[in-house]
């Protein structure tokens, strides 16, 4: 009798959770109707275990979201003693590619200056510097070594084959650096749950994620005042009126203490950048309003 009672209680709990997330899914799906783009969404709550996926298993081009993954590969090497993030790296003029987003190139366009690996990580993740990113890929041993790291820790549906410079040479190359919204949520979950990094590396990653300057009008824009967010964005150019990527992946803590991960990828957008960002911002607000 006791087992039957517990079974019924568990069934009611599961049904309630399902109905609650289905209500949220329906609200987001209704909102997306008529929007001229494809959205991929993955949500996981640390606070109550709720999950939500809309096109969460579909592949999307990452663009600069992959700088987050590159940062993880670098911090893994630091934890293994293969490098020290305080080591200084000489930045040469040939490292500073033109016609690409690069705050470090603004420091000294002629090169021949040094930055620590930690500073390169900050520029790459927090400011999405493309040249800093490609220097870090070299430090990590190249895209194949980065891919192997994620294969070894069991991350599925993540593929990195090209650096920023290579993506800038050809429109189609960006689609080879791909992942799914669920995979993006899973790697953030792993960082918190699987003790992938030392406290020092985790704290530095948290710092540069929460200091991110890009994408202020995406997941972050309509969060309640006092929310904490660490995130990494990705954005493509436009080709024949189509934007291939307006992305953001984030860990969030609402003022009421509710903690969750949200990964949003937008592709095939005929909306302009501000309109696509508004879609993402509204999706984020629907979710935060639901749990605040």
Active-site amino acid positions: 64, 164
3-state secondary structure 126-195: HCCCHHHHHHHHHHCCCHHHHHHHHHHCCCCCEECCCCHHHHHHCHHHHHHCEECHHHHHHHHHHHHHCC
Q: How far apart are CA 224 and CA 242, in angstroms?
A: 32
Strands (E), 7-123: 38-45, 51-54, 60-61, 88-91, 113-116
Angle at 66 between CA 198 and CA 105, to 5 degrees: 95
- Indicate the burial class of 23 (C-beta count within 10 angstroms; 0-12, 13-18, 19 or more): exposed
Strands 60-61 and 246-253: unpaired
Helix axes 199-210, 117-126, angle to 10 degrees: 40
Residue 245: Cβ within 10 Å count = 24
């Amino acid at each position: 009798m006791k087992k039957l009672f517990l079974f019924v209680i568990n069934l009611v709990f599961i049904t309630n959770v399902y109905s609650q997330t289905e209500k949220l899914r329906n609200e987001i799906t209704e909102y997306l109707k008529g929007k001229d783009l494809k959205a991929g969404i993955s949500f996981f709550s640390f606070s109550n275990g709720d999950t939500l996926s809309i096109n969460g298993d579909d592949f999307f081009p990452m663009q600069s979201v992959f700088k987050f993954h590159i940062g993880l590969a670098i911090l893994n090497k630091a934890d293994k003693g293969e490098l020290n993030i305080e080591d200084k790296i000489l930045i040469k003029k040939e490292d500073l590619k033109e016609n690409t987003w690069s705050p470090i190139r603004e420091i000294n366009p002629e090169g021949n200056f040094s930055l620590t690996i930690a500073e390169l990580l900050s520029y790459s993740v927090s400011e999405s510097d493309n040249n800093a990113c490609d220097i870090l890929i070299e430090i990590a041993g190249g895209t194949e070594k980065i891919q192997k790291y994620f294969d070894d820790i069991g991350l599925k549906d993540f593929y990195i084959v090209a650096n920023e410079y290579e993506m800038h040479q050809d429109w189609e190359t960006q689609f080879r650096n791909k992942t799914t919204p669920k995979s993006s949520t899973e790697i953030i979950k792993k960082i918190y749950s699987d003790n992938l990094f030392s406290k020092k590396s985790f704290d530095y990653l948290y710092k540069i994620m929460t200091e991110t300057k890009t994408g202020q009008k995406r997941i972050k824009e309509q969060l309640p005042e006092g929310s904490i967010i660490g995130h990494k964005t990705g954005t493509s150019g436009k080709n024949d009126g189509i934007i291939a990527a307006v992305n953001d992946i984030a860990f969030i803590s609402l003022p009421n203490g509710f903690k969750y991960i949200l990964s949003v990828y937008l592709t095939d957008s005929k909306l302009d950048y501000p309109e696509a960002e508004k879609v993402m911002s509204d999706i984020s607000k629907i979710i935060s309003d639901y749990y605040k």
